[in-house]
Every structure is written in C-alpha cells, then in structure tokens.
Amino acid sequence: MSRLAAYFLLITGSLWANPPTPAPAHGTSAPSHDGPVPATQSEPAPDTIDLHADHAEAPAADAEVMVPESIIAPAITEAAQEDFTLPDPLEAAKAAKERSESEKGKKPLPESEHATALRASLLRIGQGKLDQGDAPAAIVAFRQVAEAHPPLPDAITSLLGLARAYRLSGESVKAVATYEHLLKTIPAGSHTPTAYLEVGQVLRDMGSTKLALSRFYSVIHTTLKLPESGDNSYRKTVQTAQFEIADTHFQIGEYDNAIRLFKRFDLLDIDETERATARFKIARALRMSGQNLASARAFRDFISQYGQDVHAPEAYFELATLLDDLKRPEDSLRVTLDLLQIEHAKSTEDMASWRRWQQRTGMQLAAAYYQRGEFTPALRLYRALIEIDQAPSWTTPLRYQEGLCWERLLQFSRAAEVYNQLISTGQKLDSPEIQDIIRMAEWRLEQLTWTQKTQTELHALNPVETSATVTSS
C-alpha cells in the first residue's frame, strides 16, 4: 500500500475522537495529535464536508464519508511533501548539471530523438484523452512523462495535466497533492497562477474553503511578481481568481462580503457575460441575506439589461417568488406570465434551460394561488403552462387542474368540458400516471353530472326556493 493510499485511509477512517486542530498556515508543518484514536465515532465533527472517493484500497467505497477540513489540510500537505512519488524536476535538472560538470572535456551525449518524440507523443495523447474526458488514459500518459525526469517545460506540462486528470476522475486528494507538488518544486513560473487557481477550485469543492481562499489570493500575489510583459496574458486568470473569491464567500454564507466583491466587477474591463453573472450573483446574495426589496430591484434591473443572458430565466423565477413573498401577487403574476410567453430558441440547450425555469416558476406560483383560494390567477397560469409543451405527460395533469379551477369558480359546464376532453384523449394513452388522472377526471365528471341533475330536479319542484338556495351557496 502506498503512503498516499495510507493517508486516504487515514482520512476516511477513525479520526473522530479528538477534535483535530485547525489547519496550519500554508508553508508550515501540521501539528501532531497525541493520545489514542478510537475506531468509530457516532457524531461527526461540525466542520465537516462530504467526500465521495472511489479508491481501490478504501473500505466501503460507496459509503458517504464526512471528513473534517482540519484533517484534510495536513493530510494533503504531508502527501504532497513526503509521500508523492513523482520526481522533483529541479532536483533532476540539478543532477543533470552536476553530471555535465563532472564530465567536462567529454562530449555530452544528447537526448535521443526517439525519447524526445516519445515524450511529445505521450503529452499529446494525454491532452487528447483529457479533452475527451478519458481520465484513466490521461493519467497513464501524463504519469509516464512525469516519472521520466523530463526537462522543465515538459515536467510542468505533465504535472498540470496529471493534476487535471485526477480532478476529472474525482480523485481530489491526489489532484491537490499533484498541484501542491508542482507548486513546491517549481514555485515560480508562468504556470503558477493557473496552478494556484485550479487547486483552489478543487479545495473548495472538497469543502476546505479557507485553504481555497488562500490559493485564490496566491494567484493575485504571484501574478504581481511575474514580468510586466506577461501582465496582459495573466489578466484573465486574475479576474477568474477574483470571481472565485467572491463566489466562495457567497457559498459559505458571507453575503455582505460577496456583494462587496462582486460590485467591484463593475469597475473592471471585463466581458459583458461576466459582468452579467456578477450582477446576478449580487441580486441572489441580496435575496439570501434577507434584503428582499433591494433584491427585487436588482433582479428587475438584471432582466431589463440582460434579458437574453443564461441566468435570465432564473432571474424571472427569483423575481416572481420575491414579489409573491412581498404580498404583491398581481406583479408576481405579471412577471410569471411574461416568462411563460417567452419563446427562446437560441439553441437546444438554451431552450431547454428556459423551458425548465418556465415550468418550475409557473407550477410553483399556480399551486400557491390555488392553495390560497385565488382560483382566477391559478387558472390563467395553468392555461399558459399548457401552451409551452404539448406532451401528454405534461398537459394531462395541467388540464385536470384547469378543470378543478373551473369547478371552484362555479363554472361547472366549463369544468365538464375539460374533463370530457381529458377522458376522450386519455383513453388512447397507456401511461399508468395518465390513466390515474383519467380515472379522477371520470369521478369528477360523475359528481358534476349528479350535482347538475339534482339541482335541475330541485328547481323543477320549487324554482324560487331552489334558485335562492343556489345563489346563497
């Protein structure tokens, strides 16, 4: 068993008795833990994250494991510093230089063309497999190059590729260890901003937000040390790091910090798509922090300015539910109907996203109106929802709800018409769910027929009294 696998077993094993100390600062060693460690613990520590790992030597690989952040940090650090078996690129270069100096006067033996071509081929194959999503093949290719003491440029390329392949395969601990190994052995270079950014993203996905933030800030710090000629090429990476910092604060519930950081993007020269995303995040942070009026204004401004953005359908949903929460049902209904009437066919994926948000917004608001006894707006929404998709699995339950609304509005003839249409079309369908709805529609139709027949007979016996009774009811 490799020592890296031992660390993984250590993480997923029995370290719950003594609450681990906080993770040390970047660059310092992890403090030791004294005392025995029991095998099990029924209650996990409060600062835990979900870690799904698929490791050949890990027990119960399919089980969900809760791992404290304070254990993740020292385990990854030690794995990167001590147990990672890849060679040190700088040490390899130093050894080669020493060999060259010791053989002065002798003609150096150049690297064979075959070895150079093989390494280039492996790097090309690894990148191709990575682009195709074939992580295991990419890992094999990149690891062969990394273990062969390649020149510095190829060492950087192979380690970055290996880390990305581990990340793609879900082996987050190995990915972080590879990134940290690269940053430790080759701490300065054009690769460092990208490596810090990507390792920060992996750490945040693992739940280690403090370490993630430190890596994101390292992107900015290392970029300042790079040659001025490269500033423009690194600007995009720095902006991404700034966005990740703001988004991390949003994800951990620090909404005021997130709003402050996202607002800074209005001052930057960035793409309009990125600016739209920042403004959408501001509106959501205002919503999550309870500033509903300010959030509603922000969502209205966003829809007005970025009505075709990828976040626009969700903005409609947020605005409609916000207005309903603010006791402004007419405005909420108007926003929802506007969303349902949008026909968006920019692309298949884009249209599917709009369709999902249309369905979710309309169904949620229609159900809320119906439950509150506001049957007229509920009826309008159900009828609008029917128009966005003609699939029987979608329209059948909506038509049934339409019939119920007509009943509650005492429009029995309209309700009977809807139920009859459902029964005639539903008999041709074999879906069990649709057949259940058809049976309910048949029962509702029988009740309506009986009620109308009874009222007609009562009216024939005593027209005046029956009419007064029906009117009062």
For 88-123, the three-class secondary structure string (H helix, E strand, C coil) is: CHHHHHHHHHHHHHHCCCCCCCCCCHHHHHHHHHHH
Q: How confident is the model at residue 270 (pLDDT cuts 50, 70, 90)?
A: confident
Q: How confident is the model at residue 418 (pLDDT cuts 50, 70, 90)?
A: very high
Identify the pLDDT of residue 117.
Answer: 86
> Contact at 8 Å (CB) between 441 and 419?
yes
Q: How confident is the model at residue 313 (pLDDT cuts 50, 70, 90)?
A: very high
H or E segment to which residue 132 belongs: helix 113-132
Q: How confident is the model at residue 87 (pLDDT cuts 50, 70, 90)?
A: low
Question: For the purposes of burial, counting CB atoms within 10 Å of the CB of 20, is it exposed (0-12), middle (13-18) or buried (19 or more)?
Answer: buried
Distance (Å) of CA 12 to CA 32, 39, 49, 79, 80 = 18, 11, 12, 15, 18
CA–CA gap between residue 412 and residue 437 (Å, rounded): 19
Identify the pLDDT of residue 404.
Answer: 95
Q: How confident is the model at residue 81 (pLDDT cuts 50, 70, 90)?
A: very low
> Contact at 8 Å (CB) between 181 and 159?
yes
More confident residue, 224 or 442: 442
Residue 49 predicted with pLDDT over 60: no
Beta bridge partners of 51: 65
**Rounded mean pLDDT, 64-75:** 47
User: What's CA 60's distance to the chain center, in Å?
Assistant: 26
Give the model confidence (pLDDT) of 249-261 as tens digits: 999 999 999 999 9
Give the model confidence (pLDDT) of 4-21 as tens digits: 444 433 333 433 333 333
CA–CA gap between residue 299 and residue 319 (Å, rounded): 6
Give the model confidence (pLDDT) of 353-367 as tens digits: 899 999 999 999 999
Determine the residue type at 206.
Answer: M
CA–CA gap between residue 417 and residue 413 (Å, rounded): 6
Distance (Å) of CA 375 to CA 235, 320, 365, 403 = 55, 18, 12, 11
Q: How many CA atoms lie within 13 A of 421 on its CB side?
A: 15
Determine the residue type at 396.
Answer: T
Q: How confident is the model at residue 60 (pLDDT cuts 50, 70, 90)?
A: very low
Residue 53 predicted with pLDDT over 50: no
CA–CA gap between residue 55 and residue 206 (Å, rounded): 16
Percentage of residues in the chain with pLDDT exceeding 90?
A: 49
Of the candidate ranges 13-17, 333-337, 448-452, the one whose mean pLDDT is the lowest: 13-17
Identify the pLDDT of residue 464.
Answer: 56
Q: Where are the beta strands (DSSP E) in 20-84?
A: 48-51, 65-68
Residue 195 predicted with pLDDT over 90: yes
Phi-psi group of 26: left, alpha or beta (phi > 0 → left; psi -120 to 50 → alpha; rest → beta):
beta
Determine the residue type at 371.
Answer: Q
Of the candidate ranges 140-154, 164-178, 230-244, 255-269, the one whose mean pLDDT is the lowest: 230-244
User: What's CA 316's distance to the chain center, in Å?
Assistant: 19
Residue 74 predicted with pLDDT over 90: no
Identify the pLDDT of residue 245.
Answer: 95
Closest to 309 measured CA to CA, from 337, 335, 271: 271
User: What's CA 340's distance to the chain center, in Å?
Assistant: 25
- For the chain, the average pLDDT equals 78
pTM of the model: 0.68
More confident residue, 426 or 445: 445
Identify the pLDDT of residue 164.
Answer: 95
Residue 79 predicted with pLDDT over 60: no
Give the model confidence (pLDDT) of 152-176 as tens digits: 889 899 999 999 999 999 999 999 9
Tokens coding 348: 């298949």
